[in-house]
Structure 1
Amino acid sequence: MSKPSVAELRPVVHPPGVMDRRSGEHWAGRLYMRALSVRWTRHLVTTRVTPNQLTYLMVLAGVVAGAALLLPGVTGALAAVLLIQLYLLLDCVDGEVARWRGQTSITGVYLDRVGHYLAEAALLVGLGLRAADLAAGSGEGSDAGPAWQWAFLGAVAALGAILIKAETDLVDVARTRSGLPAAPETSAAPRSARLALARRAAAALRFHRLIGAVEASLLILLAALLDAVAGSGDGGVGELFFTRLAVAVLAAIALLQVVLHLVSILSSSRLR
């Protein structure tokens, strides 16, 4: 089987509605990753690799990104960023291969959603463990142990990220069990004018995006770089100030977004 050209692939793997969908396409996908992924897809569609196998690799990359944060310093943060970029690439490629081959499936959609849940949770848990400084107390003569409150905040942020996605997915579950079709995108606007205004303000600030895998990984790398500059290099608490600030901010954003997102859904016509 000859490899299709990029020009042949694009109308099939990037059909109308993929690149311009309001909530489904990540900004990084539109900005650069879709242009890169279609070139990978060109080579993969002639192999025996299945879309679901690519999705499994996506999940693995996301989970390993969280584990990479256990590596100290900028090295671990940079590894997490690169793995999340691989995760995003595979997230694009698996669907493109499926569309080209006509192998889209409910299983693939399910695995994709599970992958997003796991990747974001793993990254935020990894950040919490990183902020806890598991290496504390490992030095000779030191009796200080890991600061587990930061690991707890990382777990809180991870739980918040999962709940936000679950709140969205459970809308269709509730509608299906009530005998209704899936909610269209246009039905999500709150009926209350005040809530609609608050939602528009939150969307303009876009602070909620910080708990996404791509954005969170970049924030973690920035915190690691700032810690490297500001740290004394002697293993003291001061060198983790920005990492701990990042996990506190992300936990606060996750909790706030869980509440705001739930209120937005309950006040909209999606459950009517």
Structure 2
Amino acid sequence: MTEHTTSARPTVADIRRVGQPDSIRKRRNAEHWTADVYGRRISPYLTLGALRLGMSANAVTWVMLAIGWVAALTVALPGWGFAVLAVVLTHLQMVVDSSDGEVARWRGTSGPVGIFIDKLAHYTTEALIALAFGVRAAGGFGEISDNLAWTTWGGLFATLLLLNKVVNDLVVSSRAQGGLPPAKDAAEVAAPRVSGVARLRRAARFVPFHRLFHAVELATVIALAAIIDAFVGGIDVTRWTLIGLVVAVVVTGLGHVTAILSSSRLRA
């Protein structure tokens, strides 16, 4: 595909027009809430800078991945300040996540490679944050050998979080291998057909703890625990939060699988 040629030197307005079409902004699940609140307002300025530097969309996505990994590293470092820094970095990651797609749409270079790197960035960031939370609960890198139980909890959390995330990809691959087209991204397709499951799914909207496993929300919960620990002295809040998140991801995963199997997502 050829580079977009509406303007040799695009403006922020050009980038918003080409890089933020309704087909992207109005997707049911693909946009994180940060995009609506501030991300799509800021991202065109990053996109403009990336275009002027000659960066490809994939290069921007690699930057997004690197920011996420640094955020995970800061989670592992003791003290509430590093935990708050992780929150800032995850928000920055989400803005860059909007920018890479805008670069791709402006250049006309959207494709499977970019999608792959984007998924890699999100999956590894969230898994590494979960692992890093185990290190934080142990007291930091220097305390791992004396507190292996907490790093084990972190490893379990990361594994379960990844399993929960991969379920949606299993739907895509299962439909493809079954000879079906991609499922329509619509509420009626995702809605459970079993009344009891549907009621539980509606109830979950009032306590949306399933959203805790995105990088921004996860880093925020960790930072809140770290701040409380700093005031009361100790690390107990951090450790109990880790255990609570493991329980929450188990419940979320079971509900996720049940909702998919009782919906039309795996049916023609």
Name the residue aligned to 1:12. 18
How far did residue 2 of structure 1 move?
A: 5.1
Conserved? CA contact 1:38–1:93, under 8 Å: yes
How far did residue 110 of structure 1 move?
A: 1.1
- Mean Cα deviation higher: 16-25 or 171-180: 16-25
Name the residue aligned to 2:132. 126
Residue 169 (structure 2) pairs with residue 152 (structure 1): no
How far did residue 258 of structure 1 move?
A: 1.0
Instruction: Identify unmatched segments of 5+ residues in structure 2.
Output: 1-6
Residue 249 (structure 2) pairs with residue 254 (structure 1): yes
Given candidates 253, 259, 267, the residue that maps to 1:264 is 259
SS, match of residue 32 in structure 1: helix
How far did residue 90 of structure 1 move?
A: 1.6
Conserved? CA contact 1:77–1:220, under 8 Å: yes
How far did residue 120 of structure 1 move?
A: 0.4
Distance 1:104 1:16, change over 3 A: same
Distance 1:259 1:46, change over 3 A: same
Name the residue aligned to 2:216. 214
1:177-203 deviation line (CA, Å, top 9, x unaligned)? 111100112311111011111111112
CA distance in 2, matches of 1:202, 1:159: 23
Q: What RMSD over aligned residues (CA atoms) do the two structures have, in Å?
A: 1.7
How far did residue 134 of structure 1 move?
A: 3.7
Give TM-score, length-normalised by structure 1.
0.90
Name the residue aligned to 1:242. 237
- Mean Cα deviation higher: 241-250 or 172-181: 241-250
How far did residue 125 of structure 1 move?
A: 0.6
How far did residue 20 of structure 1 move?
A: 2.2
Residue 102 (structure 2) pairs with residue 100 (structure 1): no
How far did residue 4 of structure 1 move?
A: 1.8
How far did residue 137 of structure 1 move?
A: 6.2
Aligned length in residues: 259
How far did residue 135 of structure 1 move?
A: 6.2
Q: Could you tell me the percent identity over the aligned residues? A: 37
AA of the residue aligned to 1:198: L
Distance 1:134 1:146, change over 3 A: farther
Given candidates 79, 86, 95, the residue that maps to 1:80 is 86
Name the residue aligned to 1:90. 96
Distance 1:55 1:229, change over 3 A: same
Name the residue aligned to 1:174. 174
Conserved? CA contact 2:46–2:96, under 8 Å: no
AA of the residue aligned to 1:182: P
Name the residue aligned to 1:236. none
Conserved? CA contact 1:223–1:242, under 8 Å: yes
Conserved? CA contact 2:27–2:185, under 8 Å: no
AA of the residue aligned to 1:251: V
Name the residue aligned to 2:4. none
1:240-261 deviation line (CA, Å, top 9, x unaligned)? 1111122112111111111110
CA distance in 1, matches of 2:210, 2:108: 35
Conserved? CA contact 1:133–1:146, under 8 Å: no
1:71-90 deviation line (CA, Å, top 9, x unaligned)? 21012212211221222122
1:52-87 deviation line (CA, Å, top 9, x unaligned)? 111111111112211112221012212211221222
How far did residue 148 of structure 1 move?
A: 2.0
1:76-107 deviation line (CA, Å, top 9, x unaligned)? 21221122122212211111110111110111
